[in-house]
């Protein structure tokens, strides 16, 4: 056979396909899901209800930790090193070299976790009040953090730390009596990683393809058509069925082997019916493990997904503006999602302010402490965690197992401010003028979000007799962390409480009120 230039070009273009296994009829279908109360349809999932443990938990801690943490230079590192104008590209080229040679595949080899001690970390998290813990399972970077059956080369057992990270976290959570959650960010990966197939637009290496274009790494960067421009929306889920099926197989593998109490997805339920089948499978497996009762939670960031059963709403880096009828969750971070060296973290005061706001509105706080490459919290993170721990030791009674009162507090967002996701950047520190409420066992807990001026009673107008929202006659007032009852008066104007000279803790203080 004579090999012409045209024939050679055609063979080269077909090379990625030739490297992949021949497609069978079964690859056009999804495997069967676990039998149980849900059949994969949206209609059946409407019968789902959020379990009580999630309503009671209120506070969880997350380790958003994976191979991108090896560079210790912030979130989305695996994507942004392929965007020439980004700060992470410039940092990467200076430290590691050009991404046509040294890319994310090589960063994965640098992730070691040589100081990773999940048992020690879990004890710190439990002491800080966490009732559930979340391990990242897989980020957009297509690298699984467990012994993955369907991603055999790019997983944490085969590459990097050579450890079953999800499995180790799961054991540590179980040993500490915490519920176990896993996050998956995989569905967006196909489009998110498309930039790895591109090249510099300017400079001495303009036009030289990045390492994502090498078909030898299709299992990490995806066999994305090299002549197709990278999508403008990195979080798009406009992917072929072959990728949707791969997502289903891998997350099903995660569910079947690690049985998380909560499964978080980064976005709405992915891929239409494919996603609904996965959610159904997860709930059915969970029901089998709990005597026929579904005790697990799937979260979605799309409110419409959770309007009728189905899931729990998750709000990224934001807080609901009102009391929501069903429990929900904020997920946020004390810094960047992936570790970034030298970044300024949220203070314990900021975390406590957010927690009280969230719990007063029927929500939970899932707080990420990003781990560096070593797998151990840095000194500044330990200080933040210690501040939260000290506050929880005094005030946790007003947080855990509580429910919202008639109103969440004494103020509401200004008219027109209905943003929920990503609204935390607009927050200001709360003060003694700000009040938040929770209830439990007939007791009203009042969070005064700062220490009031000494020398005069602190007035709570919403707890006036006969006023709005309607408080009963107060019989007793205590201050958590202070021994003995407090003196108070209550009339048609306000409940006025005499506070002690010394505050029992930093940040918010909690009044425990009977009768209101």
Question: The tokens of 515 are what?
Answer: 């009768």
> Residue 350: CB partners within 8 Å, gap ≥ 6?
427, 429
Query: Measured between alpha carbons, how far is 250 from 254 in angstroms, rounded to an integer?
Result: 6
Q: What is the CATH number of domain 27-300?
A: 3.20.20.80
SS3 492: coil
Q: In whole angstroms, how far apart are CA 131 and each of 62, 405, 413?
A: 11, 22, 29
Q: Is 189 left (phi over 0), alpha (psi -120 to 50) or beta?
A: alpha
Contact 367, 332 (CB under 8 A): yes
Q: What is the pLDDT along the chain (516 residues), one digit of tens a residue?
A: 333 333 333 333 333 333 334 444 456 799 999 999 999 999 999 999 999 999 999 999 999 999 999 999 999 999 999 999 999 999 999 999 999 999 999 999 999 999 999 999 999 999 999 999 999 999 999 999 999 999 999 999 999 999 999 999 999 999 999 999 999 999 999 999 999 999 999 999 999 999 999 999 999 999 977 667 777 788 888 899 999 999 999 999 999 999 999 999 999 999 999 999 999 999 999 999 999 999 999 999 999 999 999 999 999 999 999 999 999 999 999 999 999 999 999 999 999 999 999 999 999 999 999 999 999 999 999 999 999 999 999 999 999 999 999 999 997 665 445 556 667 877 889 999 999 999 999 999 999 999 998 789 999 999 999 888 888 999 999 999 999 999 999 999 999 999 999 999 999 999 999 997
Contacts of 231 (CB under 8 A, 6+ apart): 191, 194, 238
Whole-angstrom Cα distance, residue 262 to residue 180?
7
State residue 418's pLDDT score.
54
pLDDT for 467 equals: 80
Q: How far apart are CA 259 and CA 286, in angstroms?
A: 7
The pTM score is 0.92
State in words which class domain 424-514 has.
mainly beta
Residue 259's pLDDT is 98
Residue 489 contacts residue 496 (beta carbons within 8 Å): yes
pLDDT at res. 417: 52
Structure tokens at 266: 């980064």
Residue 191: its H or E element = helix 189-192
Q: Where are the domains of the chain?
A: 27-300, 424-514
3-state secondary structure 308-354: CCCCEEEEECCCCCCCCCCCEEEEEECCCCCCECCCCCCCHHHHHHH
**What does the radius of gyration of the chain's CA atoms come to, in whole angstroms?**
26
Six token digits for residue 248:
């289903």
List Cα–Cα distances, 167 to 146, 173, 180, in angstroms. Answer: 7, 10, 11
HSE on the CB side for 320, CA within 13 Å?
23
**Cβ neighbours for 306, distance < 8 A, ≥ 6 positions apart:** 300, 312, 313, 326
CB 269 within 8 A of CB 302: yes
Provide the pLDDT for residue 5.
33
């Amino acid at each position: 056979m004579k090999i012409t230039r045209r024939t050679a070009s055609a063979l080269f273009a077909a090379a990625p396909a030739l490297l992949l296994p021949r497609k069978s009829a079964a690859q056009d279908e999804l495997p069967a899901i676990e039998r149980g109360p849900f059949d994969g349809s949206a209609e059946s999932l409407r019968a789902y209800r959020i379990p009580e443990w999630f309503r009671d938990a209120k506070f969880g801690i997350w380790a958003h930790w994976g191979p991108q943490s090896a560079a210790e230079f912030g979130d989305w590192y695996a994507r942004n090193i392929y965007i020439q104008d980004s700060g992470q590209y410039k940092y990467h080229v200076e430290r590691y070299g050009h991404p046509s040679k040294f890319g994310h595949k090589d960063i994965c080899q640098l992730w070691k976790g040589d100081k990773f001690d999940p048992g020690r970390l879990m004890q710190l998290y439990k002491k800080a009040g966490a009732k559930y813990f979340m391990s990242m399972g897989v980020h957009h970077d297509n690298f699984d953090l467990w012994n993955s059956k369907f991603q055999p080369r790019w997983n944490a057992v085969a590459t990097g730390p050579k450890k079953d990270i999800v499995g180790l976290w799961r054991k540590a959570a179980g040993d500490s009596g915490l519920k176990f959650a896993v996050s998956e960010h995989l569905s967006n990966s196909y489009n998110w990683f498309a930039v790895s197939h591109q090249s510099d637009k300017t400079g001495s290496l303009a036009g030289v393809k990045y390492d994502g274009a090498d078909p030898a790494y299709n299992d990490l960067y995806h066999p994305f058509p090299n002549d197709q421009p990278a999508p403008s929306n990195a979080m798009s889920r406009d992917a072929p069925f072959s990728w949707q099926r791969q997502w289903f197989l891998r997350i099903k593998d995660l569910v079947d082997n690690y049985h998380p109490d909560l499964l978080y997805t980064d976005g709405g339920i992915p891929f239409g019916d494919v996603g609904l089948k996965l959610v159904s499978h997860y709930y059915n497996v969970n029901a089998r493990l709990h005597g026929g009762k579904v005790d697990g939670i799937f979260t979605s960031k799309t409110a419409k997904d959770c309007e009728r059963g189905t899931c729990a709403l998750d709000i990224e880096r934001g807080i609901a503006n009102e009391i929501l009828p069903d429990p929900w969750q904020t997920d946020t971070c004390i810094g960047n999602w992936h570790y970034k060296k030298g970044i300024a973290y949220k203070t314990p005061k900021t975390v406590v302010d957010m927690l009280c706001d969230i719990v007063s509105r029927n929500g939970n706080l899932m707080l990420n402490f990003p781990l560096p490459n070593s797998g151990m919290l840095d000194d500044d993170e330990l200080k933040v965690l210690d501040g939260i721990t000290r506050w929880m030791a005094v005030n946790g009674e007003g947080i855990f197992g509580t429910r919202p009162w008639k109103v969440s507090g004494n103020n509401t967002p200004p008219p027109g401010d209905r943003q929920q996701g990503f609204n935390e950047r607009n927050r200001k520190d709360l003060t003694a003028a700000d009040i938040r409420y929770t209830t439990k066992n007939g007791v009203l807990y009042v969070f005064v979000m700062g220490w009031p001026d000494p020398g005069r009673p602190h007035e709570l107008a919403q707890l006036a007799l006969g006023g709005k929202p309607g408080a009963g006659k107060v019989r007793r007032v205590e201050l958590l962390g202070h021994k003995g009852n407090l003196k108070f008066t209550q009339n048609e104007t306000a409940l006025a409480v005499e506070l002690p000279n010394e505050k029992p803790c930093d940040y918010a203080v909690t009044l425990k009120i009977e009768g209101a």
